Structure 1
Amino acid sequence: MKSFFEIIKMVANEPYSGIENNISSFVDVEKSTINAINRAHNYIWNLHNFPFKNSYLDFKTVAGQSSYEACLGNILNIKLDNANLKLINDPDNFAFEIGLGKPQSFYLDFTTDNRKIVLYKTPDNSYDVRVKFETFMSIKGLDGSLKQSFELKDDKLNLPPEIEPLYLNCLTAKSVCYLLNDVSDENYAPYDKAFTDAYQNLINLSGVKTNTLIII
């Protein structure tokens, strides 16, 4: 997997990126370059519900405890002992019953600093819970820590190795578009087309439908 510094040098090697292509040190990289690549990455990552974004959080319930730390991502499904839990969309107007039992529903609590998964009923025993979610943590640090944006030179993309080449094609082209920052520039259109072509290849490899979320 390519490091962030290697990705920067890939972008710098593009003829119209405007970046010095013989960068020898990460400290010499301009903030505008880092911002452009992060902006391109966030755009691509959030453009579609790619399967490679899916991750899982597993935990066991504790009898008498209803609230649990939520994952950093968009929750797709929660199973308890392999049975799907129903989402309570409006907990403020839901008729909760007091007492313990085997949970069959859940809701998300945003009233604390850290988002919580709240199970209903409150567990009466220890149960296996699996949360399927789309992760927001698209970058992996050298120490294994997960983050949302590139920060350090050894940061890498948090995705399967077989996806990386096509993803980098998208990232390189879109980064140059942001660096050019002018749709009227004669070099903008070729890179925009290169991104569109690379993105379609990424879609094909990922095997997903093409209803995209357009983010401007």
Structure 2
Amino acid sequence: MNAPVDVARDDGLLTIRLNRPDKANSLTAAMLEDLARVLDGAGDARAVILTGAGDKVFSAGADLEEARTGLATSPLWEQVSGALAALPCLTIAALNGTLAGGAFGMALACDLRLSVPSASFFYPVAKLGFLPQPSDPGRMRALIGPARTKLILLGGARLTADEALQFGLIDRICARDTLLEDARALAAPALEGDSENLQAIKRMI
């Protein structure tokens, strides 16, 4: 049986895949705990790629059953996104499909975001009566500005991949069959370069 959080290590490259495609890669508390544990131990990675299984959804956010019992407001979301943001290496979200709800935090915390053309992007906290995770509005605002952040979080806008690229929410649209290859190509200089130099560049940015 495949693990719901699949981890592969290859010569400095850490690839993490959300592996629950039958449930739209929705995240359980156990999955968030696994992600936090993997990321906390990823300090020696030169690059990290975060992606999802399947061809439609990167992640629909919180598992619906667990959301009803408190997962939607769990500090685990912030723990995961904070661990990603704190990594000194290059981090890339390779979005194989739609990004929704609490899963936004992981993508926003990455350095780069790639997406397939069919993906859509929405964060329906206003409609559902939840607050976004604490760091998400600030990270989103830094990428796309306050008005567009309000459009998504308060106005409930659902963006296409083209709109997300135009806004600056994602950095590149890639063909589905080359998504991971493109992510690895972006990671290649970090894997070949001097680790301390790369960390210094990231701190400067």
**TM-score band (shorter)?**
under 0.3
Tell me which of the two structures has the higher relative contact order, counting C-alpha pairs closer than 8 angstroms and 6 or more residues apart: 1
Larger radius of gyration: 1
TM-score (norm 2): 0.27
TM-score (norm 1): 0.26
